[in-house]
Amino acid sequence: MDPDDEVFEGALSRQRSARRVRFDRTLERLREIGLGIDAQLAALDRTRDDALGRPTIGRALTAAGHATSVEDAFRRLIGWGGPAYVPREGMGPREAIDAIRGAGGVPVLAHFSEAPDQVPLLLELVDIGLAGLEVFYVSFAPETVEAVGAVAHELGLIATGGSDYHGDTTTYAEAHAALRVPDSAATAVRQAVADARSRTMPGR
């Protein structure tokens, strides 16, 4: 996609602002339940928009001794149902898909293991421009890969792969060594990107 697309950058800017609001509200919740992490965040450059999110908070909770790992922090404290969970805000599916397509990209729904049970939802997303479904996700069991792959095939969605790497439990190389994505997936993605670029940037 075109990284200099002004409309897309505008959408990202709004999303970063919403992410910052969620970040600050989560910190407030943690203080309210006696798990403040201000000391651990004191050295953080709060002027940066790209690094503030729940993984950052998870690392700080781990450093403060309130959690044993980022995964533990999500599971017990800041994930869905946790005492410091704050619902996300920002762009919805239609705005996200439109922004990606408008900049010559290919919108894909990531690590959605619920796909086999959520076909009606996926059909709605396809109707507004969803083009792919992550099938080869590093945490998916083989049977999940097969089931999600079957849904992608049924709906005509590109099957992609990814590691969701955040750098918390292993190295980049180790995370990707555990990921198996067939060459056919890369071929389909490259073709979809080429088609998208030809539609949105015909002069390139």
- Write the DSSP assignment of 42-100 as a string of letters: TTS-TT-SSS-SHHHHHHHHHHTTS-SSHHHHIIIIISTTSTT-----S--HHHHHHHH
Pick 45 or 3 by higher pLDDT. Answer: 3
**Residue 49 — pLDDT band, cuts 50, 70, 90?**
very low
pLDDT value for 28: 96
Is there a domain that residue 88 lies in? no
Contacts of 88-94 spanning 24+ positions with Cβ under 8 A: 88/18, 88/22, 89/18, 89/21, 89/22, 90/14, 90/15, 90/18, 90/19, 91/11, 91/14, 91/15, 91/18, 93/125, 93/128, 93/130, 94/128
19 shares its domain with 101: no
Q: How far apart are CA 163 and CA 140, in angstroms?
A: 10
Question: In this predicted structure, which of 1-15, 36-50, 104-118, 153-167 has the lowest mean pLDDT?
Answer: 36-50
Is there a domain that residue 43 lies in? yes
For the chain, give the mean pLDDT: 88
**Residue that is last in its domain, among 78, 108, 137:** 78
pTM of this prediction?
Answer: 0.75
Is there a domain that residue 187 lies in? yes
36 shares its domain with 130: no
64 shares its domain with 161: no
Is there a domain that residue 72 lies in? yes
Question: For the segment 22-41, what is each residue's pLDDT rounded down to a tens digit?
Answer: 999 999 999 999 999 988 88
What total of structural domains would you count in the chain? 2
74 shares its domain with 97: no
User: Above 70 in pLDDT, residue 21?
Assistant: yes
Q: Which domain holds residue 71?
A: 6-78
196 shares its domain with 97: yes
110 shares its domain with 176: yes
Which CATH number do you get for residue 120?
Answer: 3.20.20.140
102 shares its domain with 190: yes
User: Above 60 in pLDDT, residue 48?
Assistant: no
Question: For the segment 176-193, what is each residue's pLDDT rounded down to a tens digit?
Answer: 787 888 888 889 989 998
70 shares its domain with 138: no
